[in-house]
Structure 1
Amino acid sequence: MKRLAVDPSTTSEYIEWLGRRINDNIPVPSQGDNQLAEKHEKMNLKLDIDVQKLETENLRKGKRKAEEDLISLKTDYKKLLLSARTARLGKTSEQWCQEIQ
């Protein structure tokens, strides 16, 4: 902030003029500033909505991937059970005891 040394010979008209000049340079909220603030608020709201959409899309992709992985695991498990039965590994402990004796 600038400081001005006032000389005793400075006139009262000059002091009034200087006060008006300094006050004219201080920004006062105007209708345009209010509209600008509303525009920024709308843009922020739109950005928030866009972020939510992206997060939702990412969650859906993650869910879809998890469901595909689950289906793949179920398929692999069924194949493993089938191969275990084919190799006669699917017997109970009692059946193994009988076969060994």
Structure 2
Amino acid sequence: MKRFATNPLTTLEYVWWWGKRVNDNVPISSQENIRPIEEHLQVIPSELEIIKQYFEKRSSVLEKKIKQ
């Protein structure tokens, strides 16, 4: 919490207002939106990667049939 030098002309209401203003600017994390770091770093495969995997799988199956 920040403190500032008060002088004799500073009122208690002003001191209270200043403390509230400073403390209201402090970001507070909301517990409902917190996710594990693993979720943030999770890679979601793109459509191209899914098609590529399907193609490779299908190619290997066809290659095995040709060899027989």
Instruction: Name the TM tier (shorter chain).
Output: 0.3 to 0.5
TM-score (normalised: structure 2): 0.45
Q: Structure 1 length normalisation: TM-score?
A: 0.35
**Structure that is richer in helix per residue:** 1
Which protein has greater RCO, CA pairs closer than 8 Å, 6+ apart?
2
